[in-house]
Chain A
Amino acid sequence: EVQLQQSGAELVKPGASVKLSCKTSGYTFSNYYMSWLKQMPGQNIEWIGNIYGGNGGTGYNQKFKGKATLTVDKSSSTAYMDLSSLTSEDSAVYFCARRAGRTYYFDYWGQGVMVTVSS
Chain B
Amino acid sequence: DVVLTQSPATLSVTPGERISLSCRASESVDTYLHWYQQKPNESPRLLIKYASQSISGIPSRFSGSGSGTDFTLSINGVELEDLSIYYCQQGNSLPTFGAGTKLELK
Q: Which residue numbers of A lie inside 8 Å of B, CB to CB?
A: 35, 44-47, 59, 61, 95, 97, 100, 103-107, 109-112
Contacts and interface: CB of A to CB of B under 8 A. Distances in A.
Interface in B62-106: 87, 89-91, 94-100
Contacts of A112: 43
B96 A47 contact: yes
Given A44-B97, A45-B44, 10 more contacts: A35-B95, A44-B98, A45-B87, A105-B34, A105-B46, A105-B49, A105-B95, A106-B36, A106-B44, A111-B42
B99 A109 contact: no
A111 B95 contact: no
A109 B98 CA distance: 18
Contacts, number: 52
A102 to B, nearest CB: 10
B10 to A, nearest CB: 13
Given A44-B99, A44-B100, A45-B87, A104 B43 contact: no
Interface residues of B, number: 22
Nearest to A104: B91
A44 B101 CA distance: 11
A104 B94 contact: yes
